Amino acid sequence: MKKPFIRAIVLGLIFVFVFYAFQILQGLYLTMNYVPDIVETYESDDYLQHNVTFGYVSSPVWRTLEILVLMLLGIIVYYAGRILRKKK
């Protein structure tokens, strides 16, 4: 009983790692391929000022919840795979 649970936790941690690695790579790609448009710069200026004024505060509770949900998803995938493998 202990070994499958540890494997499920490891798979959950792999899900968390892959998720954050994908977000980092996506951010690098978007940063490297960003081309500013001088003509339409002032059209988005008003929107950016409103966005910055109200701001966005990330709570540690949401970050922790995100990690726990990703780990739970990994555990569910692991046990679903075990059940499907036993039915064959």
Amino acid at 52: V
What are 29-62's pLDDT values in tens digits?
988 988 777 776 666 555 555 555 555 566 788 8
Half-sphere exposure of 32 (CA within 13 A, CB side): 6
pLDDT value, residue 79: 92
Spatial distance between the Cα atoms of 36 and 18, rounded to a whole number of angstroms = 30
Residues 28 and 31: their CA atoms lie apart, in Å, by 5
pLDDT number for residue 41: 66
Per-residue CA distances from 78 to 1, 15, 27, 85 (Å): 14, 11, 29, 11
- Give residue for tokens 């726990």: 68
Q: Is the pTM of this model over 0.85?
A: no
